[in-house]
């Protein structure tokens, strides 16, 4: 009877520590969310925002002289009269380049503020676009004042663009372009015999995602001819935003990747992009570790209880209370060192502290052999190994499942031949006492 009664205080201690873990997880999540919202704006103003570079727009403008008749009232004759005048009616038409050669070099520069890592990057961009001479059939026969306009939209109006250049047919037009509504516009009299060889380049900075829009109008399918984009990265963990085109070819290098998108003729409305590698966020990791910690403590408690039961060791509920506190110290120490140390160092410090606390304590409670043997191995598996699984996004649930099934199999094998009725029944009545002798029915 005593063995069954002793389980309930252990369960109570487990529930108490679990409540503390849930509170710590909520605190970590609140701290991280608060820092993300407050730092996102300052990081954006200092470094930049997610960038999307659109293809330039090429527009042909012309006027057609047209007769316009209006009816006016003559105050002298007190009658309505027709008035005829000639006006220039404006027209315009967009034209697409016959080829586009784009280069994008992405260099990752991660920065951490508090509990949040920001995947910043530098982009070295250049694009060259060829427009054929304008076909006269695209214009009215009576077209006059024919002009050609190039509209270049940069990713953001408040961004920084170092080494910025605009070139048209080999001539620098950077200072001639007019800035209107967040775009650079250059308009000149069109030579119908001559096309346009336009190039622009810059070095800028952004965060998290870089996109290129092959068409001047987003979310609208269009025809793209003789297109090539060559992207280089200095990182290997590449990923593409949802709804973007995958590269035609990929080549891995020592520094990163060389990616190519090459199309002779394609109809699409999709963009081309790259998602920067995301580091493990210490705040989110700490919250997840604390939220799942009761599972690891539950495994460890069951294993420790069964081993002590089989070996005849007496572990009091007070001992389990100190063990639970030692487990909690791992997550508490990690929570308040992760914003001061690299996450790997904070993890190593917290896990080492927890293992030392448990092993050194059970060395005194039971024996050094038991503490440095089964206890140390169990804690390395259920605390350190269980927590390491959270570093691998997408494999945490699988790791916990495999660990749980393996633990169940092992416990079933070592306890399969135990007579639990005999082990938990407790001492029977003392039949040597005459007062306890059985009486016939």
Does residue 222 share a domain with residue 98? Answer: yes
Residues 232 and 317 in one domain: no
Q: Which residues of 17-26 are buried (b: 16+ CB within 10 A; e: fewer)?
A: bbebbeebbe
Distance of alpha carbon 224 from alpha carbon 269, whole angstroms: 10
Q: For residue 70, give the H/E element and its range.
A: strand 57-74
Q: Does residue 314 share a domain with residue 240?
A: no
My answer on whether 261 and 336 are in the same domain is no
pLDDT at res. 402: 86
* Number of domains composing the chain: 2
Residue in 219, 282, 222, 271 with CA at minimum distance from that of residue 242: 271
Extract the tokens encoding 406. Answer: 């393996």
Residues 319 and 232 in one domain: no
Q: Are residues 353 and 230 in the same domain?
A: no
User: In this model, does residue 194 exceed pLDDT 50?
Assistant: yes
State pLDDT tens for residues 340-361. Answer: 788 888 888 998 999 999 999 9
196 & 100 share domain: yes
Is residue 258 situated within a structural domain? Answer: yes
CATH code at position 263? 2.60.40
* Residues 47-79: tens digit of each pLDDT: 778 899 999 999 988 888 887 777 776 667 667
The reported pLDDT for the residue numbered 114 is 66
> What range defines the domain where residue 299 resides?
2-37+280-425
Torsion from C-alpha of 301, 303, 306, 307, nearest 10 degrees = -120
Report yes or no: 35 and 115 within 8 Å, Cβ to Cβ: yes
Backbone torsions φ then ψ of 231, nearest 5 degrees: -115, 135
Q: What is the pLDDT of residue 118?
A: 82
**Assigned token pair, 437:** 């002798």
Q: How confident is the model at residue 5 (pLDDT cuts 50, 70, 90)?
A: very low
On whether residue 431 sits in a domain, the answer given is: no
Average pLDDT, the chain: 82
Q: In angstroms, rounded to a whole number, what is the distance separating the alpha carbons of residues 181 and 208?
A: 26
pLDDT tens for 242-296 read 888 889 999 999 989 999 999 988 888 889 999 998 877 777 778 888 888 888 8
Chain centre distance of CA 237: 12
Under a CB-based contact definition with an 8 Å cutoff, are residues 289 and 327 in contact?
A: no
Contacts of 161 (CB under 8 A, 6+ apart): 154, 202, 203, 204
**Considering the entire predicted model, what is its pTM?**
0.71
Pick from 262, 247, 217: which is nearest to 57 by CA?
A: 217
Rounded Cα gap, residues 10 and 322, in angstroms = 11
Cβ-based neighbour number of residue 142 at 10 Å: 10
For residue 229, give the nearest of 268, 177, 186, 172 by alpha carbon.
268
Give the phi and the psi of residue 339 in degrees, each rounded to 5. Answer: -90, 5
| 339 shares a domain with 252 | no
Question: 407 and 309 in one domain?
Answer: yes
Residue 46 lies in a domain: no
Asked if residue 433 belongs to a domain, the reply is no
């Amino acid at each position: 009877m005593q063995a069954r009664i002793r389980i309930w205080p252990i369960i109570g201690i487990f529930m108490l520590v679990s409540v503390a873990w849930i509170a710590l997880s909520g605190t970590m999540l609140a701290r991280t969310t608060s820092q993300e919202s407050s730092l996102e704006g300052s990081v954006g103003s200092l470094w930049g925002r997610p960038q999307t570079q659109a293809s330039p727009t090429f527009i042909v403008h012309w006027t057609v002289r047209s007769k316009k008749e209006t009816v006016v009232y003559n105050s002298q004759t007190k009658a309505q009269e027709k008035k005829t005048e000639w006006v220039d009616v404006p027209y315009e038409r967009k034209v697409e380049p016959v080829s586009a050669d784009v280069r994008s070099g992405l260099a990752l520069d991660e920065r951490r503020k508090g509990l949040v890592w920001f995947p910043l990057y530098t982009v070295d961009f250049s694009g060259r676009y060829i427009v054929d001479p304008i076909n006269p059939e695209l214009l009215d026969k009576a077209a006059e004042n024919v002009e050609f306009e190039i509209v270049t939209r940069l990713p953001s109006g408040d961004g920084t663009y170092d080494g910025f250049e605009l070139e048209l047919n080999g001539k620098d037009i950077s200072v001639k372009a007019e800035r209107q509504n967040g775009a650079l516009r250059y308009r000149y009299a069109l030579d119908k015999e001559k096309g346009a060889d336009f190039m622009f380049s810059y070095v800028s900075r952004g965060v998290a995602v870089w996109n290129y829009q092959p068409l001047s109008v987003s979310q609208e399918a269009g025809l793209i001819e003789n297109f090539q984009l060559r992207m280089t990265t200095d990182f290997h963990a590449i990923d593409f935003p949802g709804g973007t085109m995958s590269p035609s070819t990929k080549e891995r290098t020592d520094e990163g990747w060389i990616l190519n998108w090459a199309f002779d003729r394609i109809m699409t409305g999709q963009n081309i992009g790259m998602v920067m590698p995301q580091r493990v966020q210490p705040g989110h990791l700490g919250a997840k570790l604390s939220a799942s910690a009761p599972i690891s403590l539950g495994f460890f408690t069951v294993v420790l209880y069964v081993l002590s039961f089989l070996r005849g060791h007496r572990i009091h509920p007070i001992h389990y209370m100190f063990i639970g506190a030692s487990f909690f110290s791992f997550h508490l120490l990690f929570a308040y060192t992760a914003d001061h140390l690299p996450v790997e160092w904070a993890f190593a410090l917290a896990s080492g502290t927890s293992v030392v606390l448990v092993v050194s304590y059970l060395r005194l409670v039971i024996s050094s052999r038991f503490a440095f043997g089964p206890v140390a191995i169990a804690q390395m598996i259920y605390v350190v190994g269980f927590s390491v699984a959270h570093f691998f996004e997408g494999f945490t649930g699988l790791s916990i499942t495999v660990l749980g099934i393996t633990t169940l199999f092992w416990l079933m094998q070592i306890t399969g031949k135990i007579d639990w009725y005999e082990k938990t029944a407790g001492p029977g009545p003392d039949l040597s006492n005459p007062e306890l002798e059985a009486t016939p029915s």
